[in-house]
Homo-oligomer: A and B are copies of this chain.
Amino acid sequence: MIDQAIDEAATGHDEATHSSANPFFAFHVFVCTNRRPDTHPRGSCAARGSERLRDYMKVRAKELGIASVRVNTAGCLDRCELGPCVVVYPQGVWYRVQNTADVDRVLAEHLAGSNPPRDLMLPP
């Protein structure tokens, strides 16, 4: 697997890679929990409740029994204005999750389902 990962990583990100195709976590979710002062013009994900949403996502992913998912805390993902921001790798799909209902939809429709919620995705 390491050999394949090396060969494929070496090809860059223009082609499928074995490491992406058979990742250590099928869904590695990063939730931005960066907090800026309330007066900062960009705002911040934590100020919009992302810590609570991360905690909820961790619990619900486990309760739902979704295989090979890890929900991680992340520092600033640099898309602050669009937050609270979440990115799911290796698929590289970005979401704005504003409340627990949005988290439920990402879990059910993307991670446990096959219909990632388009209306929650961040613009390119």
- Enumerate chain A interface residues (CB-CB to B < 8 A): 1-3, 5-6, 8-17, 19-24, 26, 28, 30, 70, 72-79, 87-94, 110, 114-116, 118, 121, 123-124
Query: Do B74 and A2 have beta carbons less than 8 Å apart?
Result: no
Complex CA distance for A92 and B124, rounded to whole angstroms: 21
Report copies per complex.
2
Report chain B residues within 8 Å CB of A116. 5-6, 9-10
Query: Do A1 and B124 have beta carbons less than 8 Å apart?
Result: yes
Report chain B residues within 8 Å CB of A78. 70
Interface CB pairs A-B, < 8 A, 7: A2-B118, A13-B20, A13-B23, A70-B78, A73-B75, A74-B74, A90-B90
